[in-house]
Amino acid sequence: MKLVKRLLIIFSLFVLVVSGLAGVGYWRLKVDPEWYHPVATDPEASRLAANRADQKVVETLNWAASAQAAETRRRLGSTRPADSASVKTISFSEEELNAFFAKWRTQNHWDDHYSAYLDDPMISLQDGRIVFAGRLKEFPSVVSMHYEPVLTADGQLNIRLVRVLGGRLPMPRGILDRPLGKLETAARARLPKFQKGSRIGSDGAGNADALKAASLMMLLDTLDQSPADASLFLPIEDKRGLPVRITAVTIADKTLSLDVRVMTDTESARLMERLHGKSDQAVAKGE
């Protein structure tokens, strides 16, 4: 009889411990991460942050135009020295990135592409990581995907998924298979149209379709956990963009810093071939 009582006591304690852990887990799942603030609390501060980001892009575009002119003089054999640095660092704070994203998603109707899957998206910058977070339609809490962007030895951009959280609770990556599978299917269906319409003009700027194709290709590479082409289109007027090459990525102190340089003619031609759907192997072989 005493043995039975002891077993009942042990079982009761086990149930209490399990229930307590389950309660803690459920709380961590339902509670938003402490850094998750998708809606700007100060609209004026958000507007100023977006303007700062715009100004940084404009400064980088001016630098790129000057660097391209210097490269042209070099190819023509001019003895005039280059008047701009070959590499430029452009840095964005977390506030600037979110304000910039909010502004451009409204102007370009980006919500149309993800609103069926996601609400209240935001970007968080944590040391060495960029975090994309939002409320998935098929999940009861905020889901955050933690990525580590690194450049490979051959200059590709590898954006590695290293952690997934539901609320504040670590989750298996498999919980994202269904929503991300839908996103991948939609992206693959839209990509051929933009690839077909992609153009890079004589001024080196890509048209709207080139920007969309490049964005979708980087998205698909990230979803597939494959290295992506380390090119970035800096947005300019008429929904066009000037492509630059990323040579370094740093995330520290809530700031994303990119080292970029202008593309050579060969790199621009290869980028155009990739945008039109050629594989890296075919591009390298000149097929």
Look at residue 75 in the predicted model and tell me its pLDDT.
63
* Token pair listed for 26: 């459920």
Q: What DSSP designation does 264 have? A: P
Q: Which residue from 258, 275, 284 is spatially nearest to 207, judged by alpha carbons?
A: 275
Q: Where are the alpha helices (DSSP H) in 31-130?
A: 43-75, 94-107, 111-114
* 199-245 pLDDT per residue, tens: 988 778 889 999 999 999 999 999 999 999 999 888 777 788 888 99
Cβ proximity of 63 and 83 under 8 Å: no
Confidence bin at 247 (pLDDT 50/70/90)? very high
Residue 269 pLDDT > 70: yes
Compute how many other C-beta atoms are within 10 angstroms of the C-beta atom of residue 274: 20
pTM of the model: 0.77
